[in-house]
Amino acid sequence: MAVALIILAAGKGSRMKSDLPKVLHKIAGAPLLVHAMKSGASLEPEKTIVVTGHGAELVEAAARDWSDDAQVVLQSEQLGTGHAVLQAQGALDGFEGDAIVLYGDTPFIQAETLEAMIAARAENDVVVLGFDAADPGRYGRLVMQGDALDAIIEYKDADDTTRAITLCNSGVICAKSDVLFDLLDKVTDENAAGEYYLTDIIGIARAQGLSATVVRCNEAETMGINSRAELAVAEVAFQTRARSDAMENGVTLQAPDTVYFSHDTYIGTDAIIEPNVVFAVGVTVENNATIRAFSHLEGCHVSRDSVVGPYARLRPGAELAEGVKIGNFVEIKNASLDAGSKVNHLSYIGDAQVGERTNIGAGTITCNYDGVFKHKTTIGADVFVGSNTMLVAPVTLGDASMTATGTVVTRDVPDGDLAVGRARQENKAGFARRMFEKLKSKKAEAAKET
């Protein structure tokens, strides 16, 4: 059976105290909306409909940035969840599969949970995702008759007996698309909030003789984000799970609580991650690589057996082949380093290609930016770049070439050549002694005057 996702992302999120729509606040480098879309993507949906409202243009851009296939519809007035889902009806006209409603501010629904809902839908007309709450609070309650769901009662409309129920509504609902919209057409706003509740479709379905049931999940999956404090709690929850998953998959984390992952970080088996490492968006680290302490990686690829850090920074476009060594206080940006090359100390390599087995000395800088354009530095294989070399791009160093310490390279260096580009040293006899004696005398006179 084909599946369509309807992701509700129209709310402002006033408790965030932000001009940014709530669903665009980030966990692990990705907007809440993207986390919801990723959860639903596990079902391989035929259609993904995002319902926008506040900040619609920004939300639409984020949705399409993640998935070109996402369809976006506007809820111009926020009249409740039922009204929001109805905005997707036109986009699903003629669609004959199941529709599942997700929420852009609920990022942690697991793939296994959604798959269980789809499986349950095969035997029921409507399936609701529920959870047993430690503190039910103001959640809507799921009223059961055996295995059948009889009704969902919102807290503000519930009596004391109903409020005593601990089985709560997550808001996630699955039904055949045409059934879902047929039920929504019958929903009214006759309730305490004057809104069209999506949850009212359960009572309507039961009255029509349709079946409804509940799939249960862990309460942690249903965490909704409504404030900065909840966003921080969600970040902790994500990082805790990501660290656990990494270690279960054969990654060594020497101090797990100090390592931070992005939503898309990939680390291979037998990689070693030392303390205080941050992985931003777009990082792949292959098997047996080592990331040493206090390093920051973003938008880069580290091949097997490479070593990065400590105190290294890999920026977007950094591509390290097998066995590359990047040392302390080195920054790599938009540069490819071939197998066995080394940049061990205090260097910046940007917009560059570095050949196999090349050694970049301490304090080397690729001078890649002229104030308007970026230029490329090409360094061949088996090159030795002396310490404190300035490579003024565009420039090429041929295979097996060398630069002398302190050289400023402004012209290409042919294969096997040594480049020396520095001012001739002159020693002025006795000048240092005379200068210091003069300065010390001035200091002594100044002290007497005070």
Cα 308 to chain centroid, rounded: 21
Question: How many whole angstroms separate alpha carbon 50 and alpha carbon 66?
Answer: 12
In eight-state DSSP terms, residue 184 is H
The C-alpha atoms of residue 228 and residue 216 are separated, in whole angstroms, by 28
> Cα–Cα distance between 317 and 331 in angstroms, integer?
12
Q: Please provide residue 423's backbone torsions phi and psi, each rounded to the nearest 5 degrees.
A: -65, 145
CB atoms closer than 10 angstroms to residue 92:
21
**Two tokens, residue 126:** 């409507």
- In whole angstroms, give the CA distance from residue 363 to residue 344: 10
Nearest one of 281, 301, 298 to 35, comparing CA atoms: 281
Alpha carbon distance 219, 135 (integer Å): 10
Q: Which residues of 289-319 are buried (b: 16+ CB within 10 A; e: fewer)?
A: bbbbbbbbbbbbbbbbbbbbbbebbbbebbb
Which single residue is written with the structure tokens 């030392």?
274
Q: Which of 25, 54, 296, 345 is catalytic?
A: 345
What are the distances in angstroms from CA 46 to CA 70, 98, 159, 174, 285?
10, 10, 41, 15, 32
In total, the chain counts a number of residues equal to 450
Report residue 4: phi and psi, to 5°: -120, 140
Angle between helices 111-121 and 32-41 (to 10 degrees): 50
C-alpha count within 13 angstroms, C-beta hemisphere, residue 243: 20
Q: How far is CA 162 from the centre of its chain?
A: 40
Q: Which of 152, 158, 159, 246 is nearest to 199 (CA)?
A: 152
Separation of alpha carbons 409 and 192, rounded Å: 76
Is residue 35 part of the annotated active site? The answer reads no
CB 161 within 8 A of CB 202: no
* Secondary structure of residue 332 in the 3-state scheme: strand
Q: Residue 19 in 3-state DSSP?
A: coil
Task: With residue 229 as reference, give the H or E element that holds it.
Answer: helix 228-248
Q: Which amino acids are annotated catalytic?
A: 345
